[in-house]
Amino acid sequence: MSSYSLRGLNWFNALSAGAKAVDGLTASLKVADGFLGEQPVRFIAVVADPDNRFVRARNGEVGLLEGWGLAKVVDEVIAADQDKPQKRAVIAIVDVPSQAYGRREEALGIHQALAGAADSYARARLAGHAVIGLLVGKAMSGAFLAHGYQANRLIALRDPGVMVHAMGKASAARVTLRSVEELETLAASVPPMAYDIDSYASLGLLWETLSVEQIEQPSASDLARVTECLNLAIDDVAAKGHDLSGRLGAANRAASSKVRQLLREQW
């Protein structure tokens, strides 16, 4: 059994069946152009590559090659569709355990690579592309910021293996000088510290959560349900605009909404 997750790859293969693969990319980046119904889309996933030249990016982490690769494939969509009346939607399939931590990554500017990816996703959104993030596994730390977090709409599958956080539990325990058990106790009363999808949803950042039968290897009914939800999300973006204002409505974001209101008034 592999030590890395195959969820992202399996969902990419299922959703992009019949789509045209984009060649010439690093093995850890899967990209294909196809359709969801009548809507043209580009599917993008970061997957594990056991032979990645950067050893810290072999288990699905977003590293240097992945960050710059994401920026490239999203920029291609923006440029190619600039004058088209119907712009491709961008579907970011998210199953990323972290950014790649390593001396070489730091020396070679992983912060710039990941910022480049986030910037490209943001510019695609602002250029009129519906950007949808589909969380099928872990969405952790800088990897999620670079791949998925800039989406107009975030959809998460309901499963204990779907987690969103700034860092893994063991790392968070070391940084805060607490045990994992102590962190879990705190998370029960402090939603931003929790890892589960319901706590994350309470922050208003998810557009929808979906239950599926086989999250590791989607069934035909799973695929149909997720495809329908993706189409609804794309339609919702078309109807309501491409900004991120919809993320501020939850009760646990009341302070964020108030601060933004006061900033606008004082500006």
Q: What is the pLDDT of residues 20-72, one digit of tens each?
A: 999 999 999 999 999 998 999 999 999 999 999 999 999 999 999 999 999 99
Note the pLDDT of residue 1: 46
Q: What is the mean pLDDT of residues 109-122?
A: 98
User: What's CA 208's distance to the chain center, in Å?
Assistant: 14
Q: What is the pLDDT of residues 141-199, one digit of tens each?
A: 999 999 999 999 999 999 999 998 877 777 778 888 888 888 888 777 777 777 788 88
